[in-house]
Amino acid sequence: MCTITNENPELDKAEGYKVVIKHKGKYYSTVTGIEYKEGKDVEIVNSRHDVNRDYTSSYWKLWAILEQGERWYNKLHRGKTSIYETLNDAKKDFYCLDNSYDYHNCIIVKFTLSGVIYLAEYEDCPTFIGSHIDKIEEIEV
Protein backbone atom coordinates (compact mmCIF):
# COMPACT_ATOMS: atom_id res chain seq x y z
CA MET A 1 0.00 0.00 0.00
CA CYS A 2 1.28 3.48 -0.80
CA THR A 3 2.21 6.00 1.85
CA ILE A 4 0.85 9.48 1.17
CA THR A 5 3.70 12.00 1.26
CA ASN A 6 1.70 15.14 0.41
CA GLU A 7 -1.91 15.41 1.58
CA ASN A 8 -2.32 18.94 0.18
CA PRO A 9 -1.25 18.53 -3.42
CA GLU A 10 -1.37 21.16 -6.11
CA LEU A 11 -1.92 18.58 -8.84
CA ASP A 12 -5.31 17.95 -10.37
CA LYS A 13 -4.13 15.46 -13.01
CA ALA A 14 -1.43 12.77 -13.15
CA GLU A 15 -0.22 10.13 -15.59
CA GLY A 16 1.48 6.94 -14.51
CA TYR A 17 1.63 3.18 -14.81
CA LYS A 18 -0.07 0.26 -13.11
CA VAL A 19 -0.03 -3.53 -13.26
CA VAL A 20 -3.57 -4.83 -13.79
CA ILE A 21 -5.33 -8.04 -14.71
CA LYS A 22 -6.96 -7.99 -18.13
CA HIS A 23 -9.94 -10.32 -18.48
CA LYS A 24 -12.48 -10.22 -21.32
CA GLY A 25 -11.36 -6.72 -22.30
CA LYS A 26 -11.79 -5.33 -18.78
CA TYR A 27 -9.12 -4.22 -16.28
CA TYR A 28 -9.04 -5.36 -12.65
CA SER A 29 -6.94 -4.60 -9.58
CA THR A 30 -4.38 -7.31 -8.80
CA VAL A 31 -5.02 -6.75 -5.08
CA THR A 32 -8.74 -6.12 -4.61
CA GLY A 33 -10.23 -7.36 -7.86
CA ILE A 34 -12.23 -4.18 -8.44
CA GLU A 35 -12.80 -3.21 -12.07
CA TYR A 36 -11.11 -0.09 -13.40
CA LYS A 37 -13.27 1.84 -15.87
CA GLU A 38 -12.24 4.72 -18.11
CA GLY A 39 -14.16 7.91 -17.36
CA LYS A 40 -15.33 6.66 -13.96
CA ASP A 41 -14.44 7.08 -10.31
CA VAL A 42 -12.72 4.15 -8.62
CA GLU A 43 -15.23 1.86 -6.97
CA ILE A 44 -15.70 2.31 -3.21
CA VAL A 45 -15.62 -1.08 -1.55
CA ASN A 46 -16.48 -1.81 2.08
CA SER A 47 -16.83 -5.58 1.81
CA ARG A 48 -16.65 -8.37 -0.74
CA HIS A 49 -20.40 -8.11 -1.21
CA ASP A 50 -20.05 -4.58 -2.64
CA VAL A 51 -18.43 -5.87 -5.83
CA ASN A 52 -20.51 -7.47 -8.57
CA ARG A 53 -18.55 -8.81 -11.54
CA ASP A 54 -18.17 -11.80 -13.78
CA TYR A 55 -14.50 -12.17 -12.88
CA THR A 56 -13.27 -13.90 -9.75
CA SER A 57 -10.08 -15.80 -9.03
CA SER A 58 -8.67 -17.91 -6.25
CA TYR A 59 -6.19 -15.19 -5.27
CA TRP A 60 -8.88 -12.49 -4.99
CA LYS A 61 -9.06 -11.99 -1.23
CA LEU A 62 -10.67 -8.60 -0.80
CA TRP A 63 -12.42 -9.73 2.37
CA ALA A 64 -9.06 -10.65 3.91
CA ILE A 65 -7.57 -7.29 2.92
CA LEU A 66 -10.42 -5.42 4.55
CA GLU A 67 -10.09 -7.49 7.73
CA GLN A 68 -6.29 -7.25 8.00
CA GLY A 69 -6.36 -3.53 8.58
CA GLU A 70 -3.47 -1.13 8.09
CA ARG A 71 -0.96 -3.43 6.39
CA TRP A 72 -2.95 -3.77 3.17
CA TYR A 73 -5.84 -1.41 3.61
CA ASN A 74 -6.21 2.15 4.78
CA LYS A 75 -9.59 3.91 4.80
CA LEU A 76 -7.93 7.00 3.28
CA HIS A 77 -7.36 4.93 0.14
CA ARG A 78 -10.97 3.80 -0.23
CA GLY A 79 -12.28 4.82 -3.64
CA LYS A 80 -8.79 5.61 -4.91
CA THR A 81 -6.05 3.86 -6.84
CA SER A 82 -2.31 4.39 -7.10
CA ILE A 83 -0.08 4.54 -10.15
CA TYR A 84 3.69 4.49 -10.49
CA GLU A 85 5.24 7.68 -11.78
CA THR A 86 7.65 5.75 -14.04
CA LEU A 87 7.24 2.78 -16.35
CA ASN A 88 10.40 1.20 -14.93
CA ASP A 89 8.87 1.05 -11.44
CA ALA A 90 5.72 -0.58 -12.85
CA LYS A 91 7.92 -3.09 -14.70
CA LYS A 92 9.67 -4.02 -11.42
CA ASP A 93 6.24 -4.70 -9.90
CA PHE A 94 5.19 -6.67 -12.98
CA TYR A 95 8.27 -8.91 -12.93
CA CYS A 96 7.81 -9.63 -9.19
CA LEU A 97 4.41 -11.28 -9.66
CA ASP A 98 4.32 -14.81 -8.31
CA ASN A 99 2.00 -17.79 -8.59
CA SER A 100 -0.52 -16.19 -6.23
CA TYR A 101 -1.54 -14.02 -9.19
CA ASP A 102 -3.01 -14.99 -12.51
CA TYR A 103 0.14 -13.41 -13.92
CA HIS A 104 -0.47 -14.67 -17.47
CA ASN A 105 -3.35 -12.17 -17.63
CA CYS A 106 -1.41 -9.29 -16.07
CA ILE A 107 -0.41 -6.32 -18.19
CA ILE A 108 0.90 -2.80 -17.63
CA VAL A 109 -1.40 0.09 -18.44
CA LYS A 110 -0.94 3.84 -18.45
CA PHE A 111 -3.56 5.65 -16.37
CA THR A 112 -4.51 9.29 -16.46
CA LEU A 113 -6.03 10.23 -13.10
CA SER A 114 -7.81 13.49 -12.30
CA GLY A 115 -9.48 15.22 -9.38
CA VAL A 116 -7.54 15.48 -6.14
CA ILE A 117 -4.15 13.83 -6.70
CA TYR A 118 -1.99 12.83 -3.75
CA LEU A 119 1.75 12.36 -3.96
CA ALA A 120 2.82 9.07 -2.41
CA GLU A 121 5.43 6.35 -2.51
CA TYR A 122 5.51 2.57 -2.51
CA GLU A 123 8.74 0.76 -1.63
CA ASP A 124 10.77 3.92 -2.37
CA CYS A 125 9.06 4.42 -5.75
CA PRO A 126 7.16 7.67 -6.36
CA THR A 127 3.45 7.19 -6.98
CA PHE A 128 0.27 9.19 -7.41
CA ILE A 129 -3.07 8.40 -5.78
CA GLY A 130 -6.35 9.55 -7.29
CA SER A 131 -10.01 8.66 -7.57
CA HIS A 132 -11.08 9.43 -11.15
CA ILE A 133 -9.72 7.47 -14.11
CA ASP A 134 -9.77 9.61 -17.24
CA LYS A 135 -7.92 7.23 -19.53
CA ILE A 136 -6.52 3.68 -19.61
CA GLU A 137 -3.97 2.79 -22.29
CA GLU A 138 -2.24 -0.58 -22.67
CA ILE A 139 1.57 -0.50 -22.72
CA GLU A 140 3.85 -2.95 -24.54
CA VAL A 141 6.32 -4.58 -22.11
User: In terms of Cα–Cα distance, which of 55, 77, 54 is closest to 65?
Assistant: 77
Distance CA 89, CA 135 (A): 20
CA distances from 16 to 20, 33, 115, 123 (A): 13, 20, 15, 16
User: In terms of Cα–Cα distance, which of 14, 13, 43 is closest to 27?
Assistant: 43
What residues are paired with 108 via a beta bridge? Answer: 19, 139
Q: pLDDT digit string (tens) for 3-41?
A: 777 766 778 899 999 999 888 899 988 877 788 999 999
pTM above 0.85, yes or no: no
Is residue 137 a contact partner of residue 109, using CB atoms and an 8 Å limit? yes
Q: pLDDT digit string (tens) for 56-100?
A: 443 444 545 555 554 555 667 778 999 999 999 999 888 877 555
Element (H, E) at 66: helix 62-68
What residues are paired with 82 via a beta bridge? Answer: 129
Greater confidence, 136 or 54?
136
What residues are paired with 139 via a beta bridge? Answer: 108
Predicted confidence at residue 104, as pLDDT, reads: 66
Predicted confidence at residue 59, as pLDDT, reads: 40
